[in-house]
Amino acid sequence: MKILFIGDIVGNPGRAAVTKFLETHRDEYDFIVANGENAAGGKGLTFEIVDQLLGSGVSAITTGNHVWDNKEIFNFIETTPQLIRPANYPTEVTGSGVTIVPSSSGQAQLGVINLAGQIFMSPYTNPFHALNAILPEVKAETPYILLDFHAEATSEKIAMGWHADGRVGAVVGTHTHVPTADARVLPQGTAYITDVGMTGPYDSVIGTRVDLVLERFLTMMPTRFVVAKGNVKLCGAEIELDDKTGLAVSIVPLQVQY
Ligand SMILES: [Fe+2]
Ligand SMILES: [Fe+2]
């Protein structure tokens, strides 16, 4: 099973890169999963954008701490099962943290789990216990499982990789918007990368216009943030899972310049 995971899509430049890449490459993958938490002008998601991503070949959309930034999401998160938010919210929170989606051929299913970290993040419940609680129900449905761990601290992300090793096919890190050089298959067969990086403009401060961020650091006053434009890259990872076991055969980081 070949999975493409696409890192945090930032605004219009990020969405354009995804559309362009998938126009020619969507048929190469059994599953395409994308983190969309910054797809609408850097802040959350709209129905139109979700519809467009799903229409371009994306099988499931994960999110993170920016999931609620665009209030429109409350109108469609319940009715769009392919769109998930971190699972480690209190149980009464709208939406789901897990989805099971069909492959492009319809012959297999991928379980996608989204969790958020606790270090340097808003308060979420313990993601390590959350994974333990979620896994049995997902494993009952499919051997192919991917976890998007949306977290800031490298230590917490690496610990999650070891916690999940041999229990899921892949743990991919998102949120920092900066790709790390540590993609590997862990000893028990889980593909792991601390962060795949964002899909968006790299002449920026993690997607935002440099001048506006510098103004905030220099004046220490609030400024409005606008998505930057230059040096757009699609960043993600290609993961191959063994058809029988669902464990990882390989993980290769992907960076495409636009
Ligand atoms: Fe993000
Ligand atoms: Fe984030």
Helix axes of 47-55 and 11-25: crossing angle, nearest 10 degrees = 20
Question: Which pLDDT belongs to residue 135?
Answer: 98
Question: Which pLDDT belongs to residue 54?
Answer: 98
Question: Which pLDDT belongs to residue 126?
Answer: 98
What does the pLDDT average to over 205-214?
98
Question: Which pLDDT belongs to residue 233?
Answer: 98
Band of pLDDT at residue 234, cut at 50, 70 and 90: very high
DSSP 191: E
Band of pLDDT at residue 49, cut at 50, 70 and 90: very high
Q: Which residues, in sequence order, are bridge partners of residue 253? A: 237
What does the pLDDT average to over 167-175?
98
Put simply, whether the predicted model's pTM sits higher than 0.85 gets the answer: yes
Query: What spacing in Å lies between the alpha carbon of 44 and ligand 2's midpoint?
Result: 10
Number of domains in the chain: 1
What does the alpha-carbon distance between residue 258 and residue 250 come to, in Å, rounded to a whole number? 25
Tokens 């998160």 found at: 77
Residue positions counted in the chain: 258
Per-residue pLDDT tens over the stretch 187-209: 999 999 999 999 999 999 999 99
Q: Which residues, in sequence order, are bridge partners of residue 250? A: 240
Query: What spacing in Å lies between the alpha carbon of 111 and ligand 2's midpoint?
Result: 21
- Spatial neighbors of 209 by CB under 8 A, at least 6 apart, are 225, 226, 227, 228
Cα Rg for the chain, rounded, in angstroms?
Answer: 17
Per-residue pLDDT tens over the stretch 32-44: 999 999 999 999 9
Per-residue pLDDT tens over the stretch 66-119: 999 999 999 999 999 999 999 999 999 999 999 999 999 999 999 999 999 999
Query: What spacing in Å lies between the alpha carbon of 150 and ligand 2's midpoint?
Result: 6
Q: Burial letters for 97-132: b for 16+ Cβ neighbours within 10 Å, e otherwise?
A: bbbbbebbeeebbbbbbbbbbbeebeebbebeebbe
What does the pLDDT average to over 133-160?
98
Integer CA distances (angstroms), 78 to 41, 85, 94, 170, in order: 22, 11, 7, 26
Domain that holds residue 83: 2-257
Query: What spacing in Å lies between the alpha carbon of 65 and ligand 2's midpoint?
Result: 5
Band of pLDDT at residue 164, cut at 50, 70 and 90: very high
Residue from 66, 150, 175, 177 carrying the catalytic annotation: 66
CATH of residue 140: 3.60.21.10
Band of pLDDT at residue 13, cut at 50, 70 and 90: very high
Q: Is 66 a catalytic residue?
A: yes
Question: Which pLDDT belongs to residue 144?
Answer: 98
Query: What spacing in Å lies between the alpha carbon of 106 and ligand 2's midpoint?
Result: 31
